[in-house]
Chains A and B, each alone.
Chain A
Amino acid sequence: MTRPTVLELRGVSKNFGPVAAVADVDLELKQGEFISFLGPSGSGKTTTLMMVAGLQAPSSGSILLNGRDLAPLPPYKRNIGVVFQHYALFPHMSVLANIAFPLEMRKLGRMQARRRAEAVLRLVGLPDLGDRLPSQLSGGQQQRVALARALAYEPPLLLMDEPLGALDKNLRAQMQIEIARLHRELGITVLYVTHDQEEALVMSDRIAVFNHGRVEQIGQPQSLYERPVTRFVAGFLGDSTFLPGKVQALQKEEAVVLTAHGPLRGHASPGVRPGEAAVVAVRPERVVLLTPGDTARENALRGRISDVIYLGQSRKFVVRLEDGSELLGLQPIGTASPAVTEGSEVLLGWSATDCNVLADSD
């Protein structure tokens, strides 16, 4: 079953003077999809969102909502829901008046608007707080009200600009689940901007990783995490150790890279060419301690454990390799394998399919 496209970005760019804040972004958002823009600050993700909302005009390219070009429409005619980072609730209006505001702008009768506002307030779990002022609510409650206000008029698209950025960690986790629930129950299409990779992984159907104004990679959380195609994605989404070298051989999906630690094998990402520079990207949790004589893993290295960090569910450890570089490893607590200890000499390994060979652009 193919779902209709709600939002389409075609070659969208935004220049501030000589600086390209957003460069040539193409994107399609299907009905009911939850997509996250993930990237460091200044990577163009918020600017892209603002262009969809109509608060910034693209320098080139076009944005289509349900097939209709948005360019001639000012923000107040786009009928898109937006949740801002600091809630942007109207401080002089009660919670209910805030939620009823967009309904009144749509010429809904006062009573009707109020009833609808009350219903949406129940939906976000704050049925009794309608008469309060925003300043009398906690951060999490204000965020829910902002969400309710943006959902009240059932927009075809909901934009969220780092909506949980100002909340503490526990509340964030709770709100993530809450937003995911609302997304599931209402079937709304969501474009979510965040710099928090965990948030993006938890909630998204797809993630678009932004860097320097470009979409580096777009895909489902799992494929992005397990098969990053650029060094930036591998480093930004989760931890990776990069072992640089030169591509020695390339066949189908597997590349052999000659590194300072000998040849290493890994899954070849697009753009890897024989004879050119490349890096092998290894996730810490894929690194396994090997017993001598163990040959099940294609890749094996020697090193000395220089640091062990206890994380509760797991231990993170740093291995100093023979050439002085470092490799990160992660060991779940309570596994059968011997616990890592500082200063011990170890043999480490990982399967070729568990690591990625990426073109070394740096």
Chain B
Amino acid sequence: MKRQASRLLLLPGAAFVATVFALPVGALLLRSVSDPTWGLQNFRALWEEPVYASLIRNTVQISLATTVCCILLAYPFAHVMATRPRLTRLLTLVVLVPFWSSILVRSFAWMVLLQNNGIVNQSLLRLGLIDQPLELIFNRTGVLIGMVHVLLPFVVFPLYGAIRAMDPALMPAAACLGAGPIRAFLRVQLPLTLAGLVMGAVLVFVMALGYFITPALLGGRRDAVIARMIQLQVSQLGDWGMAATLSLVLLVATLILLGASQLLVRSPARRPAG
């Protein structure tokens, strides 16, 4: 009785989500088979027109590269954050700063920094490390820099939690048992923090799939992504059917990834080793 009563507490929230989110999204997705006429013509276009394949390829490539870069940067960062309590606050601040600035300000700041006569190139030139400015912006590099910058916290925090949750004596114990740093990491720390890592990586990948302002501002011609195309089709081309189809692709990809990650990280401790 009591449990059923407490479920009623979910009602306002559920009603809110249903009316302002589920309904409109459902209506939009329905347009993939109903706009301009009922049928699968939108999916046929998706399959047949090469522009969509290249959009999907770009999106997946950018999202994957962003995820990999985030993992590589976030792991050491989270490790220091979790194992040096005195630095934790400062590092948390550092990683959260991009969150507190608007996406436009952030992107324009990167433009100032990364352009041909920006601070980065000027410094490198003056130090004599390069002869001519590096192409750091309006290409894939620029997109990656901008996206990694803002998505980093999504890997850092789950990883930080996972590393903090580890018994601090485990790595010293592994060392005393004869495991060098790399083997100790691969056999002990990595398996124990894998859940946090996968969770962060999936978050970043899924969010990267839907990013379009950063690729639009910091990328070049060849960095067009699905989300940007959806926006274009709705606001300028008025092709709601195609926009809905592309949205469905993104949504399904996201759901598949989330589901797969749930399976992957389900109690890694149950795996019998050795």
Contacts and interface: CB of A to CB of B under 8 A. Distances in A.
Contacts of B269: 91-92, 133, 135
Interface string B82-115: 0000000000000000000000000000000000
A101 B191 CA distance: 14
A6 to B, nearest CB: 17
B222 interface: no
A75 B191 contact: no
B10 interface: no
Contacts of B192: 90-92
Interface in A47-80: 53-55, 74-80
Interface stretch (B27-35, B147-155, B171-179, B236-244): B171-179
Nearest to B271: A92
Interface stretch (A81-89, A208-216, A276-284, A336-344): A81-89
Given A92-B268, A92-B273, A97-B273, A86 B178 contact: no
Contacts of B177: 76, 82, 101-102, 105, 149-150, 153
Interface in B235-272: 268-272
Interface in B139-158: none
A45 interface: no
Q: Which of B174, B177, B178, B188 has the most CB of A within 10 A?
A: B177
A153 B178 contact: yes
Contacts of B173: 82, 84, 88, 90
Contacts of A80: 176
A101 B172 CA distance: 14
Q: Kindly state the interface size class of chain A when it binds its partner.
A: 35 or more
A306 interface: no
B272 A131 contact: yes
A90 B175 contact: no
B170 interface: yes
Interface of B: 167, 169-170, 172-181, 183-184, 187-188, 191-192, 268-274
Given A55-B172, A91-B167, A91-B269, 13 more contacts: A53-B172, A75-B172, A76-B180, A80-B176, A84-B173, A92-B271, A97-B274, A102-B177, A105-B177, A105-B179, A133-B269, A133-B270, A150-B177
